[in-house]
Structure 1
């Protein structure tokens, strides 16, 4: 009986990881741009298929829709996981695979976005208060400096600290530390642009 339960647990865990990765691999900015006959976001601005680059096209509504879709991609797998598992660590791992899917999507030759909105969705689904703190950190930084990339970098720099203060769990904090490193690394070009004062501010359209 125990072995049967263990097998069911393992199958459910692997299945949800696959579902989470597949959901994360769906890129709304590319899909929406095709539906509304707009230029592919991979061909202009930062060439990043995400909400911020869509905003650079001047289409605020489409940028908002992309943002909400990407956040939902993170929330949904986490909520599904809570239905099957009580252990937060397993839920966290499954959720993180949505971010991996967004960054390395199977549907787009493993070339995706930076994972910020989807990661925020994972955190909100995992712990709403923790996600809200990260979101507020992003908003405050964006309000003060007007750089989306800087806001993401600051938010994910503080995420491991916020997590430790909330849970005092080395395992949970370590997973979010790895997630933060990956997201920040994806901003390496933005970091260079920020240092050289070449980064585009929020709301500024492409020339």
Structure 2
């Protein structure tokens, strides 16, 4: 299949504001609570645990599906795969369905790594973000240190230029989306300031 097809497919799937749609089915809107991002964290706040869980799984799946198909089934590699892997994250962060606004993209980033590595890198990412968020109480710094930990893991356990490329591209996007948090004291968390 044409590489541009995969990029477009991944971007469109990533751009679907599933957290918003699922939460609105429950009569709520995630953009009215928390930090007003249209992501899974605010879906939990607005709709409760089951709505939030559904939103989270959908936001992960919309990235895991195209990336997993392209990488695991169609065996796409190299820079082409790195761009495909970035596409759903960009779609989520700058959704055309939401006037090019979106969430902070942590759920689709996790989905991308599920598509690429199935379980080990996603587990490292989940463990890292959980630990650092508990210790630092600041989402931006938790993301930064988690990305650093993922880089170390990939370097020693999964040395692959394409994976480094994906992580590098994702890092630029995630750090940009968390730039305000990174300007704050990492040991203080503003009320209701969470990831999406």
**TM-score, with length taken from structure 2:** 0.83
Q: Deviations over 1:33-81 (max 9, x none)?
A: 221111x222332011111222333612211111111111121011220
Contact 1:160 1:176 survives alignment (8 Å): yes
Q: How does 1:165-184 map to 2 (within 5 A)?
A: 165-184=156-175
Q: In the alignment, is residue 188 of structure 1 matched against residue 179 of structure 2?
A: yes
User: 1:70 aligns to what?
Assistant: 59
Assess if the C-alpha contact under 8 Å between 1:157 and 1:180 holds in 2.
Answer: no
Q: Do the aligned partners of 2:23 and 2:47 also contact (CA within 8 Å) in 1? A: no
Please, what TM-score do these two structures have when normalized by structure 1?
0.79
Which residue pairs with 1:158 in the alignment?
149
Inter-partner Cα distance in structure 2 for 1:190 and 1:117: 18
Aligned residue in 2 for 1:13: 3
Change (3 A) 1:64 1:202: farther
Which deviates more, 173-182 or 149-158?
A: 149-158
* 2:48 is equivalent to residue 59 of structure 1: yes
Q: Call closer, same or farther: CA 1:196–1:202 in 2, change over 3 Å.
A: closer
Which residue number corresponds to residue 94 of structure 1? 84
Report the structure number with the largest CA radius of gyration.
1
Relative contact order (alpha carbons < 8 A, sep ≥ 6): 1 or 2 greater?
A: 2
Judge which range, 158-167 or 76-85, deviates more.
158-167
User: What's the CA shift for 1:110?
Assistant: 0.9
Choose which of 108, 121, 128 in structure 2 pairs with 1:118.
108
Native 8 Å contact 2:15 2:91 kept in 1: yes
CA distance in 2, matches of 1:142, 1:198: 9
Alpha-carbon distance between aligned partners in 1 of 2:145 and 2:155, rounded to the nearest angstrom:
16
Which 5+ residue runs of structure 2 have no aligned equivalent? none
Indicate conservation of the 8 Å contact 1:148/1:201, yes or no: no
Structure 1 runs not aligned, ≥5 long: 1-8
Q: What is the alpha-carbon distance in structure 2 between the residues aligned to residue 201 and residue 194 of structure 1?
A: 16
